[in-house]
Amino acid sequence: MTTTTPPVAVIMAGGSGTRFWPVSRTKLPKQLVSLLGGPTMIQATVARLQPLIPAERVLVITTAAQAEETRRQLPMLKPAHVIAEPVGRDTAACVALAALIIAKDFPGAPMILLPADQVIDPADRFQAALAAGVDQARQGRLVTFGITPRFAATGYGYVEVAEELGRDGAIGINRVARFVEKPNAEGATEYLASGRFRWNAGIFAWRTDVVLRELAAHTPWLIEALTPVGTAWGTPGFAEALAAAYGPLKKISIDYALLEKAKDIAVVTADFIWDDLGSWDALYDHLPADADGNHVSGEAIAVGSHNNLMVNRSGQTLALVGVENLSVITTPDAVLVVARHGSQQVKMVVERLAVTLPERI
């Protein structure tokens, strides 16, 4: 294997973003819209990889409903590098599919896996952390990236660190002691106080031969099902092989399929600013605020109102009077009003609309 082969990035962009309804929709989910102004989230994700990973070495795994718009937004990518899964089968299938494709098209290249919908800044520190993780991956380790917790978050998974494997300036590299699911408030407070835990950023690096070998050891059925798809990559029979393989697959995340079972895993503690935009509550801190703590995007007026999130995409004027701690989101065909810190429940609205007004999701 050529150890200096540049890495390939795989962007996971198949989510539906239900917690960002009504701005995020089935065919145009949050990664394909601009939530903060400027580029869409997926455009920002590709941009912050460069120049470490040029566009010709970026793959996107998405859905059939989103593939056309993804290609339109990312004209710098080869159209074939926007790969549409016929059905969602969670992240383990995505990892295996991408690894098989990279092994065929980019032999010896390490693989970086990352979501399309995170806020990360600045790009140079992000790239420095990725480079440190790729160095570890070249040594045969599975690598995850962790963020030093800023508060006792209950909405993130955690990684407990063990002995230090190295350091590159502000970037620490440790062996992983264990992965921990989202804790309750008491557990999150203990994790924060201990200093031994990192938020799991959901970003990974590994050699394709290593991750395929480990998946074959722990989920052999997955590799058995997808190996013919990798063989068919680049041929006219690829789409048919992909559909035939994906249909019967069980859904399983890469965490359950591999990371909670594998032994030689390193965590890179990065020093870039990171936020996982999982709901409207998370957007609050990223928008400008008025003197009363109202965070606003779009045309909006707040009178005697405090600490509200106001996102107006309706083309009309949004006005709040005498209210506080609300998230109010408008589009041309929908209005969402939810208590701040309650926007995780927005997905329940989408579930109900799927039955009553499916055209609105």
Cα–Cα distance measured from residue 161 to residue 16, given in angstroms and rounded to the nearest whole number = 32
Q: What is the pTM of this model?
A: 0.93
Q: How far apart are CA 337 and CA 227, in angstroms?
A: 47
Quote the pLDDT of residue 349.
Answer: 94
28: which residues sit within 8 A by CB, 6+ positions away?
66, 69
**Taking a C-beta distance cutoff of 8 angstroms, is the pair 96, 212 a contact?**
yes
Question: What number of residues does the chain have?
Answer: 361
Q: Which domains does the chain have, with CATH numbers?
A: 8-278 (3.90.550.10), 281-360 (no CATH)
d(CA 307, CA 137) in angstroms, rounded, equals: 44
Query: Could you give the residue ranges of the DSSP H alpha helices within 139-237?
Result: 185-194, 208-218, 220-232
Query: What pLDDT is recorded for position 37?
Result: 84
How many CA atoms lie less than 13 Å away from 261 in the CB half-sphere? 13
Give the pLDDT confidence score for residue 85 in this predicted structure: 96
**List of residues 6+ apart from 50 with CB closer than 8 A:** none
> What is d(CA 56, CA 321) in angstroms, rounded to the nearest whole number?
51
Query: Any alpha helices (H) in 50-89, and if so which ranges?
Result: 64-73
Separation between Cα atoms, residue 192 and residue 198, nearest integer Å: 8
Give the residue among 313, 310, 308 at the shortest CA–CA distance from 323. 308
* Grouped pLDDT means (10 residues each) for the chain, 361 residues: 78 90 92 92 97 96 95 98 95 97 96 96 96 96 96 92 90 95 93 95 97 97 97 96 96 94 93 90 91 96 97 96 97 96 90 92 90
Report pLDDT for 199.
95
Q: What does the pLDDT read at residue 2?
A: 40
CA contacts within 13 A on the Cβ side of 344: 4
- What pLDDT does residue 27 have? 85
Q: Is 28 exposed, middle or buried (0-12, 13-18, 19+ CB in 10 A)?
A: middle
Look up residue 255 and give its DSSP letter.
I
**Measured between alpha carbons, how far is 29 from 39 in angstroms, rounded to an integer?**
14
CB count in 10 Å sphere of residue 105: 15
Alpha carbon of residue 282 to chain centroid: 14
Alpha carbon of residue 284 to chain centroid = 19
Reduce the DSSP state of residue 59 to 3 states and report it.
Answer: strand
- Torsion sign (Cα): 220, 250, 17, 81: positive
